[in-house]
Amino acid sequence: MRNLKPIISTTKLWFILVSPQSERLNQTFRMFYLEVSERRELCVSLKDQHPWVVKKMRSDNYPKLILKLCLSLLLATSILSPIHSNAKIGDKVSDGTATEINAYLTSGIIINDTNIASYSSTGTGSIDDPYIIDNLMINTTDSLGVKFDGVSSGTYYTLRDSHIIGNTYGVYISDITSGKVKVINCTLEGSLGIGGANALYLTIDNCTLKFNQAPSFREGVKFTNNVVYYRATAYSGSIMNIRNENNIVENNIFYGNYSSFIVGRVTNTTVRNNILHKTGFSFSDDDLEDIVNNTFENNMIDGRPFGFLMNISDETISGELYGQIYLAGSENIIIEKQYLTNINLAIQVYNCTNITLKEIESTTKNGIEIEDTVDIKIENSVLEGFGYGLDFENSRDITIVKNHLTGFEYGIEISYGEDVHIHNNTLLQLGEYGLYFDNVSDCEMTFNIFTINIQEPGSDLLFGSWELGYAKIYYNVFINYGNASAQLFDVYSSTNVTWYDETLEIGNFYSNWNGTGTYFIPGDGAIDLYPFIDVDKDLLTEIEEVLIYHTNPFQADSDGDGFDDYTEILEGTDPLNPKDYPGKGVVLAVVLGSVFGVALIAAALYILNKRGLINLSFLKKK
């Protein structure tokens, strides 16, 4: 049997004819177009069907017109004859199988108790015989493709074998239901794909989901054998969000575009055998007992295992073992020499003691997140991203030393931190905030470099804080290479914060300082009594050293070859290469002279200088 749905316009007649023998994954829609024009021409077009009809006939003479009308009637009869007068959505063919496409719609539909039977191909709504709603083809700009609203809580139903596109949700279940709804073998598209805050114990199996933001599954979701695509290009949001208890997420493939698989406060939950591409996990639970009571195993992130490390102690984890690391409830741990890339978050540490992260390299959205941890040290790491670089919450004894961070919106953010030491770090090309402190006390910051590009005054800040107490901030370089009039700082409710060292008479470098007098810190009105320019006395300003030559603004001789940076730049040698220094040719000449004499020396120097192997430019007259 053919199931034909006509849609009639003023001058065009479209027929959608679907072969019931086609497989679900290879569904095709053959369209028959019939148009009668004022010129009395008739064009009948059938793709792959009745090729003998596919002709364009002119009505130049009466016989051809008669032939044309006969063929038209024959075609209409052959198409319309199988359609019964009582045909409806869900009709079956004679062998009992459902037709492939039960509806092709451009508007969303609402399914409730009054019409669920008519939208179903089989079933009575009982636990043993659920309604089967299948083979829907919906592509709509309406907010919802299919909305289940008004279906009794005791009704069982399954949506399957359908392709549904909605502006917000492909499918939305607004009714209170628990364990009675399944979505199987469907492709669902929309900003949020599929959702329903009241749909508990929902089964989603063997589906393809495409969305910009994952819905939040509140409890008991069974999410298996699906392929999920996160389509947003803003690199934000989540690809999966599970909460509460009794969830099963198994055998899925996620394509994340730096989005997050958010794990809320879950218990008795299994996340197993999933493959994640360009996405990773993000745990938001604040109860260690909840986290322990779950199973996370055999999940792969960009080809490497997800490092779910719980309750371990006295270990060193070295080398590129994992695609992402989550460490919780552990103590005396060293994690080193990891390379993590193309995920939402490199490393997450929760409720641990005496943890060292060193020589970590990451190119991710977010760098490292620390929560409820005591004695944490991050050192000698290189992180690049566009979210937050280092994020600390409710932690103390924090040491951040000799790290290099590039491109993050937030370089370092600390909320409710105590005993904080930040030294010898370089944070470049920062976005919204270079540093942000909220309720931080006992903090010391020295020999750090921060750069930011503030285009509009008031939009971004290099340093912001709220309730910063007992802090000493000096020997730092703060550079805004955007709008020179932009405010760099916003510091409020601070207590005992000094921006200089009284003994050394040293403060900080500020790119918007005019070069004379003191420097005013906006907010509480603190003052740096000793702002500086060219603190290492090498005749290069901090802006020149950091932004142009990339030398160390705190050290006159960055490469330690005995020549200060200015001299090397003046003489054309590399101030960052200890093997390239002014007068290198003279040293070589002394060695050669002691062996071969003056003549050979002159020849050798000439050849070496010509080939660029030595630099004798300093001998020329200035």
Same domain, 529 and 606: no
Same domain, 398 and 502: yes
Same domain, 527 and 598: no
Consecutive 10-residue averages of pLDDT for the chain (622 residues): 36 33 34 33 38 39 50 47 36 40 83 96 96 96 94 95 93 90 95 85 95 85 95 76 93 93 92 96 80 92 96 96 96 98 96 98 97 98 97 98 97 98 98 94 98 88 95 98 92 95 98 96 93 97 96 96 95 95 64 55 66 61 44
Decide if 597 is inside a domain.
Answer: yes
**What is the rounded distance in angstroms from the CA atom of residue 224 to the CA atom of residue 184?**
10
The pLDDT, as a whole number, for residue 498 is 97
Helix (H) or strand (E) holding 389: strand 388-401
Looking at 26, 50, 80, the residue that finishes a domain is 80
Looking at 24, 54, 80, the residue that finishes a domain is 80
The pLDDT, as a whole number, for residue 234 is 54
Same domain, 421 and 516: yes
For the entire predicted model, the pTM comes to: 0.77
Same domain, 407 and 520: yes
Decide if 93 is inside a domain.
Answer: no
Decide if 32 is inside a domain.
Answer: yes
Q: CB-based contacts of 557: which residues, under 8 Å, 6+ apart?
A: 538, 563, 564, 565
Same domain, 397 and 510: yes
Decide if 200 is inside a domain.
Answer: no
Helix (H) or strand (E) holding 590: helix 584-596
E-assigned strand segments in 54-106: 56-57, 103-105
Same domain, 597 and 525: no
Number of domains, the chain = 3
Residue 332: count of CB within 10 angstroms of its CB? 15
Same domain, 611 and 487: no
Helix (H) or strand (E) holding 441: strand 433-446
Q: In degrees to the nearest 10, what's the CA dihedral of 418, 423, 429, 431? A: 10
Strands 5-8 and 12-17: antiparallel
**What is the rounded distance in angstroms from the CA atom of residue 228 to the CA atom of residue 209?**
5
Same domain, 421 and 518: yes
Same domain, 519 and 588: no
Same domain, 506 and 588: no
Decide if 308 is inside a domain.
Answer: no
Decide if 494 is inside a domain.
Answer: yes
Half-sphere exposure of 234 (CA within 13 A, CB side): 6
Domain housing 516: 388-533
Helix (H) or strand (E) holding 400: strand 388-401
Same domain, 473 and 589: no
Decide if 604 is inside a domain.
Answer: yes
Going by C-alpha positions, the residue among 418, 428, 314 that lies closest to residue 373 is: 418
Decide if 285 is inside a domain.
Answer: no
Tokens of 235: 């690199």
